[in-house]
Structure 1
Amino acid sequence: MQLSKLDLLFKAGTPIVNVSTPLCERITVLELIYQEIAVNKNIPLYVWNAGWGCFKKFKADSQNNQFYPINLKELQVINDGIFAAFDCLLSYDGEGVFIFENLPSLIKETLPGYFGISSRIISQVINTFYELSKCELAKYVVLMTTDNTELPQSLCDLIPTLSTPLPSFEEIASSIQIFLTKYIGKLPRELEISSLVHATSGLTIEEIRTGCALAFHSAHQIDTQTLASHLLSYKISRFLAFNLNFIPSPNVPDFGGLDLLKDFIKKAKLDFSGQARDANIPLPKGVLLVGPPGTGKTLAANVSARELGFPLISIDTGAVAAGGATYLKRLLTRVEACAPVVLYFDEFDKLFAANSVTGEDNTNNKQILGTLLTWLQDKHSPVFVVATLNRLDALPPELTRVGRFDEIFYVGFPQAIERKEILTLHLARFDQRYCNGGNPLTSKEWRVILNKTVNCTGAELARMVEKAARCQFHQGREILIGLAELLEQREAMVPLYVRDTDRILAIENRARYFAQPSSSPDHSEYAPAITTFWGNSQNHSSSNFFD
């Protein structure tokens, strides 16, 4: 629900409404409530928070806004607690809009010496709700939260929650023009406002105001590219404050193997096109990548964003698990404002980890799950979700049913031909002989190293090549990496599969019946021969893990 519905709720007889807003928008929201409710109804606006411990009168005009001490004896004018504030509100014989800031935080906190204070505050709010419902005076209460704290469920069933939406394209364009005109006067005709809007999408009006000020004072010249660059840098830093890593254009190398996954991404790119919209093809939702650590899932997410031509936003799942559903909703709102974009959840199963003590799911996890399920099912924005995890069985079954993600891929250990591709890509970084299709190793040498690297991850193959190159560099030799250098590094390494065989096999077995293979069967000359128990050779048609 949006803040524009606040007056409608009051007219419908709802005496208390919860308003959730970012802290940087606090004054803006107060000004809006003052103008839309208090001024229109010709009643005062009072604000209470724990810092003051009493009510103060708020007034805003075109020049400034200010909090004034109250001279009315009927209202709480000294710091004597939240319960006294409610008593004064109910006994006050005047009218007004009464705002309580961050009341849910007081409910959530356990204050020493006040046993059961949370229950008392909840009961007080419920009592106030019903008493104001019968009151003939125009008393409207707003619970304004700026710290991502949700109302208790008992109050959510009674009190509706509104949120402050991020500005639209037109609102951002208008704000940027106003803010920049303040600093530079008449805007240059060649200034492309649309480019500046794209650079600031996902920010609030107050954040855009700050970004414009920083861009003006930091830029050596006023042109579109310079201003957009500074605004984008500011947005990246703001997103980091919310544990969002925004990468405008992922600059990552290609990866070897995973041909079926690559084909899926190419088709998803077509599904985002205008021709797909004309054909009523639904927007792609996203993909789940399951597999052991180090097999290239994170790299695949970055390459997916590069292939789609979208920015990449990665979310810190640990921060979401700690922040709860309200925090996640705000992050998703910012992500959707940046669309088209790839949204990346690493270690997706962290969001649903059971309590380490009891082993049971906690309420926070259930709320996060509900928020994600609703968003994935109902979203109509061009946001492509890539979520990676190690164990598919760690996810709630609701997330893996049809309609949440377009596909689930298993990203396992690379096959022989894929290991060759991965090794060649990394060898070409240090040894020019492997560039542009070069191949200094013979087929026999390739078979030797590929047989020695069975069940090695892509990360382990890359590490082998890097250590071989570093070793020659430290010796002051020209970097020429051959079979001997690769075998030396392979012998010095203990792969993950060897260290944790049981867990890796469990990951594979659990994914067998739910996930699609990310690679085609290996029919190359390097594929190992498949033999029966009696030693008879078979063809390679069953060499793939999923066959």
Structure 2
Amino acid sequence: MEKKQVRERLMANLFKARFPFLYISTWEEERVLSLIYSMASNQELIKTSRKVITWKITTGIEEAGVKAKGDTKSALKALEFVENYQEPAIFVLHDFHIYFGGEGRTPDHQIIRKLRDISLSLKRSPNPKNVVFLSPILRLPHDLEKDITIVDFDLPSFNEIKQILDDLIQVNKQTGRIEIKLTEEEKEKLVKAAQGLTLSEAENAFARAMVEDGRLSIHDVEVILEEKEQIIKKTEILEFVNSRLNMDDIGGLENLKRWLRKRNKSWLESTQKYGLPAPKGVLITGVPGCGKSLISKAISAMWQLPLLRLDIGKVFSGIVGSSEENMRKAIQTAEAISPSILWIDEIEKGFSGMNSSGDGGTASRIFGQFLTWMQEKEKPVFVIATANNISSLPTELLRKGRFDEIFFVDLPTHRERVEIFRVHLKRRLKDPNVARDFQINDDNLHYLAGLTEGFVGAEIEQVVINGLFEAFYEERSVTLLDFEKICKQFIPLSVTQAEQIKGIRDWANVRAVAATPREDREEYSESGEAEDISDIIASRGGRTIDF
């Protein structure tokens, strides 16, 4: 049974059971009202058909667009109208949360008392009557917690958004003004990209995509993601990362790339034929500067999903209880715009104070909240976490069920260094005058890769940049000697932090999968390169599992 039908069945049962007060927190007033109107006249579903009567502070009581006699804009007058009404009815009271206090506002105790007074009369009324509080904010006074039932109203389902898209396509096909270039799979991707938006937001996004270039195609996923960016900006906890990187911009790590490619499109409906769940996520650990953050950004482009960066530091707040609320808000937002990617960079720093007692256990509670969500989440939110100091991570985070896999990113091999040089040189050497005396060919790349044994990807990028500065200073084209000079001057991380890197490798040998494929990693045992940097490369970490 689809979620929409489950929701209808639940609300119908609550109405039939004469629950006096229901509370629906949502921005989609029209969608809720449409559902209530259809239910109220459906005798098969609700048994006794009922009138739908609405109240707003601006218009008072209205039935079918006709205002009630007298002044009913007052909340107290509206409740008296509900109490005295004699026919079967569902009363929808908009924005009633303003009388319940919060945000510096004092609760209206007279209104709260009146609600408690009429609760029993609603249950015992000869004709069924129910009150629905409809508001974008969920706020309940302690006095009414036992009287009000909260009803979750999820964002539009896949089928609801698909219906909106189909309707727009049908209308615009008839006019002939918009060109539709979508396969069924591409249409599914577009609908999936729009999940997390309200129906109105989704319709606006599709309409905007159509009018921008007079066509609707798979490339308009970018327009949908821009609409989702607005949601993220309003949270102040999550950051929408608009990355232009793709997997071709990252040299090496083919094992990890293959794993990710095989899980592309895994959030689409077609995976249900194989009985597959959406992947939970990956933890990427390893030597600093080896591309962990880069590949996190590149996943977004490969999968065409929004990338959200969670800063754990922003979750913590000085107000008691607000840190837990911030984490809930971040999780709810990530799920609301799913399918999405949630990126936590250097996760070990975010939860570093977990074992301390100075924060009253806040860090432990937030960490437990995050772990529970990771284990039980049903929405397609792919979590990618990166860590440099893996030893400081708690064991609970590393056990199976939290992440699908733990990958170890080691110092790049010779073949990977060739590809890293190729990526950075092609990205920067675009002016023919600057590149006149240097060619990006296999001989030069292999020579530079040989000079940079033990260098991480970030250090190779700096070699390219510093070499270009040499040429820039003398206002000439760059040469191989410029890069060679920088290589020989550079002291890599593998030398300055040899002990730390060895510790990371020892951990990864039995606990993680190598991000580099077997054939690349075997270069060292065959070439004997490891002896040149004091055995730092002698034992490369990560289990040899190839995907």
User: Same-fold call, TM > 0.5?
Assistant: yes
What is the alpha-carbon distance in structure 2 between the residues aligned to residue 469 and residue 173 of structure 1? 51
Task: Summarize the Cα distance change of 1:128–1:507 in structure 2 as closer, same or farther, 3 Å threshold.
Answer: farther
Matched, 1:140 2:130: yes
- Residue aligning to 1:466: 465
* Structure 1 residue identity aligned to 2:529: A
| 3-state SS of 2:440 partner | helix
CA distance in 2, matches of 1:343, 1:395: 21
Aligned 1:149-188 pairs, distance under 5 A: 155=145, 159-169=149-159, 171-176=160-165, 178-179=167-168, 186-187=175-176
2:509 pairs with 1:515: no
**1:240 deviation in Å?**
0.6
Alignment gaps of 5+ in structure 2 = 44-48, 233-238, 316-324, 430-434
Query: How far has the Cα of 1:473 moved from its partner?
Result: 3.2
The CA deviation at 1:138 is 2.6
Whether the aligned pair in 1 keeps the contact of 2:451 and 2:488 (CA below 8 Å) is: no
Query: Tell me, what secondary structure is at the counterpart of 1:479?
Result: coil
Please name the residue that 1:256 is paired with. Answer: 251
Give 1:358's aligned residue.
359
Q: What displacement does 1:529 show?
A: 1.8
How many residues end up aligned between the 2 structures?
494
Is the CA contact (8 Å cut-off) linking 1:298 and 1:346 kept in structure 2? no
Give the gaps of 5 or more residues in structure 1: 61-65, 337-341, 532-536
Once residues 365 and 136 of structure 1 are traced to their aligned partners in structure 2, the CA distance between those partners, rounded to angstroms, is 51
Secondary structure of 1:469's match? helix
Query: Residue 55 of structure 2: which of 19, 44, 47 is its match?
Result: 47
Between 1:263-272 and 1:136-145, the stretch displaced more is 263-272
Question: 1:347 matched to which residue of 2?
Answer: 345
Q: CA 1:174/1:152 → structure 2, altered by over 3 Å: closer, same or farther?
A: same
Q: Per-residue CA shift, 1:342-379, capped at 9, x if unaligned?
A: 7242327488686997252276665555444321xx46
TM-score normalised by structure 2 residue count? 0.69
Where do 1:317-356 residues align within 5 Å? Answer: 317-318=310-311, 321=315, 323-325=326-328, 328-329=331-332, 331-336=334-339, 343-347=341-345, 349=347
Deviation at 1:315, TM superposition (A): 1.5
Asked if 1 retains the 8 angstrom alpha-carbon contact of 2:408 and 2:514, the reply is yes
2:74 counterpart residue number:
78
Deviation at 1:423, TM superposition (A): 3.5
Alignment of 1:172-211 (within 5 A): 172-176=161-165, 178-179=167-168, 186-187=175-176, 191-192=180-181, 194=184, 195=186, 198-200=189-191, 201-202=194-195, 203-211=197-205
C-alpha deviation, 1:239, in angstroms: 1.0
CA contact (8 A) 1:102 1:143 kept: yes
C-alpha change, 1:56 and 1:374, in structure 2 (3 Å) is: farther
CA contact (8 A) 1:351 1:365 kept: no
Structure 1 residues 449 and 237, CA gap change in structure 2 (3 angstroms): closer
Equivalent residue for 2:15? Answer: 10
Which shows bigger deviation, 179-188 or 235-244? 179-188
Distance 1:196 1:275 in 2: 13
Instruction: State the shift of 1:314 in Å.
Output: 0.9
Structure 2 match to 1:529: 531
Q: 1:42 to 1:461 in 2, by over 3 A?
A: same
Q: Is the 8 A contact 1:56 1:69 kept in 2?
A: yes
Q: Which one-letter code corresponds to 2:304 in the other structure?
A: P
SS in structure 2 of the partner of residue 529 of structure 1: helix
Letter in 2 for 1:168: F
Alignment partners' CA distance in 2, 1:402 and 1:100: 47
User: Which deviations, in whole Å up to 9, do the C-alpha atoms of 1:3-44 show, x marking residues without a partner?
Assistant: 4232232223433333243x3x32332333234337973323
The question of whether the paired residues in 2 share the 8 Å contact of 1:100 and 1:142 is answered with yes
Q: 1:99, CA displacement in angstroms?
A: 3.5
The residue number in structure 1 matching 2:227 is 238
Residue 36 in structure 1 maps to residue 36 in structure 2: no
Q: Deviations over 1:249-294 (max 9, x none)?
A: 9634243343443453455569999999777676644321134653
Compute the displacement of 1:514 (Å). Answer: 4.2
| Match status 1:290 vs 2:293 | no
Alignment of 1:271-282 (within 5 A): none
Counterparts in 2 of 1:542 and 1:293: CA distance versus 1, 3 Å: closer
Q: How does 1:419-458 map to 2 (within 5 A)?
A: 419=417, 421-429=419-427, 430=429, 435-439=440-444, 442=447, 448-450=451-453, 454=454, 457-458=456-457
Using the TM superposition, give the Cα deviation of residue 497 of structure 1 relative to its aligned residue in structure 2, in angstroms.
8.9
In structure 1, C-alpha distance between the alignment counterparts of 2:92 and 2:352, rounded to whole Å = 37
Equivalent residue of 1:141, what SS? strand
- In structure 2, how many angstroms separate the alpha carbons of the residues matched to 1:292 and 1:110? 46
1:302 Cα deviation from its structure 2 partner: 4.4
Secondary structure at 1:287's aligned position in 2?
strand
Compared CA separation, residues 488 and 394, structure 1 to 2 (3 A): closer
Amino acid at match of 2:175: K
Matched to 2:405, the amino acid is E
TM-score, normalised to structure 1, is 0.69
Contact between 1:110 and 1:118, CA under 8 Å: does it hold in 2?
no
Shift of 1:478: 0.9
Distance 2:397 2:121 in 1: 43
Change (3 A) 1:528 1:271: same
CA distance in 1, matches of 2:120, 2:346: 42
Partners of 1:469 and 1:481 within 8 A in 2:
no
